[in-house]
Chains A and B, each alone.
Chain A
């Protein structure tokens, strides 16, 4: 009980309250440790094993890592695809910022635009993947219908049948999903910029683009940095959209890291269960994600304008 007693407050009331506070938090603390940190320990343990989830695992040292770095081309292709899909933030962030700046002007009817542009955010990412794969289906897909009606194409395009067009569809789906929430983040940031600053700037004849880059952007840089980090890391963890639309097809060419590793863990989509190897890949990906975050935090320090 020494943990709960404090020399400064020896009265029993205080001790009772301390005990209650700890007891109230305990179930969540156990749940948290069990489902957040224990899985990481599990992965760290099995990354050096050959283990199929049924038979007892066999310690194989660094074999799994040798396989990743020397023999598993598909893993690296999945990594490349993930980076390509992450490139969508080049479109997503400026668009979100543009919409936010427009909405911030306080014109009539902006509440409608804000709610409508936010709407995609509330739809399940898996369902978004499904809807986009239906829309871009070669037979009966609505995009082909529209393009045919407009006379732009003569015969249906097999969007999801080729690697690059399939990646483009995934990219579009992902932008569609996340533009709304980033827009609202930026809008909130814009609303926190004091109005007087703009008035002073106007007196100095600073308007339009100049005002945006000289005054607005520097003021909202802290939130901008955070939103950008969230988008980068979030886009590298892309999973549901891919699984629910292309599922790595054609021939595994649109697989991303998360879906690729997932299939090794669960034997999903006719893959053989290889828990040990999947754990090793998870460790590699975790290290990459950590490195990217660190580099970003270091590099984006220069973004602060004084």
Chain B
């Protein structure tokens, strides 16, 4: 075997392995998009084709008009918007206070917040959460979900913002303090405006989390289906029983629910990947 060939075989093997992995990673998404464009005649005539004869938007129109997807999309949009906007404020404020603030008990409170990572019980605490929201009359709409997501301090978001604000030079605060700026004022007019990369990261992470959220919006809209966001609405179609007609609608609904996420990801994939890793590892 020539030396050149010996050098290229491992490289070719790497490309082949990664190539197969990419096909597997992308296939379910590709399939969903393709199948959502199949007309019902096409499904019957060519059940063995994955790619439709002709991509039609009938299923989308049907999902949009008849299966309430217009409402679901709107619910998703407004829920995500308020969660993103709200958490940008609460995460940066919390990060700022925990990094720059000086008050007694700060370390203890911080330890209490961190330790919540180890006592998080996933979906086991959903019921009590709803009961607490009920006390405030917030248990029957997405407003409750928004309040919880914005104010319940997401630990990884807190880590990211505390870490970022820690890298900002302290001379900025000092000079502002000499000019008579208060702690709050320094945040509003200096720290927050120069934290644009942080705001972008938190915004994207929260968009992903809120747009994709299933359990919390599910339990807050059990009594009122018209308030469901997209993910809950689509999955609900399935739990109501699979029939031939709602099969296509379900696929179109799935496509509607993943499309915005994929577009945002393609545009900002660097922020996504960096943000998700920094939050989990440094945290």
Seen from chain A, the residues whose Cβ lies within 8 Å of a Cβ on chain B are 3-4, 6, 14, 16-18, 20-22, 24-25, 27-32, 34-40, 42-43, 95, 98-99, 102-103, 105, 107, 113-135, 137, 140, 142, 145-146, 148-149, 176, 179-181, 184-185, 188, 223, 226, 230, 237, 239-240, 243-244, 247, 258-259, 261-262, 265-266, 269, 275, 278, 282, 285-286, 289-290, 293
Contact between A126 and B127, CB atoms less than 8 A apart: no
Are the C-beta atoms of A188 and B265 separated by less than 8 Å? no
Residue contact A28 to B128, C-beta cutoff 8 Å: no
A135 to chain B, nearest CB (A): 6
Write out the residue numbers on chain B whose beta carbons fall within 8 Å of the beta carbon of A43.
121, 124-125, 128
Indicate whether A134 sits within 8 Å of B152 (C-beta atoms), given known contacts A117-B22, A145-B50: no
- What residue of chain A has the Cβ atom nearest to residue B98's Cβ? A25
Residue of B nearest to A286 (CB): B121
B269 with A239: CB separation less than 8 A: no
CB–CB A148/B214 < 8 A: no
A27–B86 alpha-carbon span in the complex (Å): 12
Q: Which of B66-74, B112-120, B164-172 sits within the interface?
A: B112-120
Specify which of B97, B257, B265 is in contact with A127 (CB 8 Å cutoff).
Answer: B257
Per the CB 8 Å criterion, the residue count for chain B at the interface is 90
Interchain CB contact (< 8 A) of A36 among B116, B127, B184:
B116
Does B140 interact with chain A (Cβ within 8 Å)? no
Using Cβ atoms and an 8 Å threshold, which residues of chain B touch A38? 128, 132
List B contacts of A275 (CB < 8 A). Answer: 127
CA distance A222 to B280 in the complex (A): 13
A120 to B29, CA, bound (A): 8
Contacts A185-B280, A266-B222 known; 15 new A-B pairs at CB < 8 A: A18-B183, A30-B151, A31-B151, A32-B153, A36-B116, A40-B119, A124-B214, A124-B257, A134-B247, A140-B47, A188-B281, A247-B239, A258-B124, A262-B123, A293-B118
Bound-complex Cα distance A289 to B125 (A): 14
- In the assembly, what is the distance between CA of A289 and CA of B237, in Å? 33
Q: Are B128 and A4 in contact (CB under 8 A)?
A: no
Residue contact A130 to B182, C-beta cutoff 8 Å: no
Instruction: Give residues in B with beta carbon < 8 Å to A.
Output: 11, 14-15, 17-18, 21-22, 24-26, 28-29, 31-32, 35, 43, 47-48, 50, 90, 93-94, 96-98, 100-105, 109, 113, 116, 118-129, 131-132, 147-148, 150-153, 182-184, 187, 208, 211-215, 219, 222, 231-232, 234-235, 238-239, 242, 247, 250-251, 254, 257-258, 261-262, 265-266, 269, 272-273, 276-277, 280-281
Bound form: Cα–Cα A261–B123 in Å: 9
Task: Give the CA-CA distance A31 to B208 in the complex, in Å.
Answer: 21
Q: Is the CB of A24 within 8 A of B126?
A: no
User: What is the CA–CA distance of A226 and B122 in the complex, to the nearest angstrom?
Assistant: 19
Q: How far is the CB of A136 from chain B (nearest CB, A)?
A: 11
Residues of A within 8 A of B257 (CB): 124, 127
Please give, as numbers and ranges, the residues of chain B lying within 8 Å of A27 by CB-CB distance.
90, 151
> Which residues does chain A contribute within 8 Å of B24, judged by CB atoms?
176
Nearest A residue to B270 via CB reads A115
In the complex, the answer to whether A244 meets B116 with C-beta atoms within 8 Å is no
Taking the closest CB of chain B, its distance from the CB of A77, in whole angstroms, is: 18
Inter-chain CA distance A130–B123, complex, in Å, is 19
Q: Which residue of A is nearest B264, CB measured?
A: A122
Contact B127 A266 (CB under 8 A): yes
- Chain B residue at minimal CB-CB distance from A112: B22
CB distance A140 to B127 under 8 Å?
A: no
Distance in Å: Cβ of B160 to nearest Cβ of chain A: 14
A118-B273, A126-B235 as given contacts; A39 in contact with B102, CB under 8 Å:
no
Query: Whole-angstrom distance between the alpha carbons of A33 and B128 in the complex?
Result: 13
Partner of B183, one of A16, A30, A259: A16
Query: Is there contact, CB below 8 Å, between B94 and A122?
Result: no
Min C-beta distance of A274 to chain B, whole Å: 11
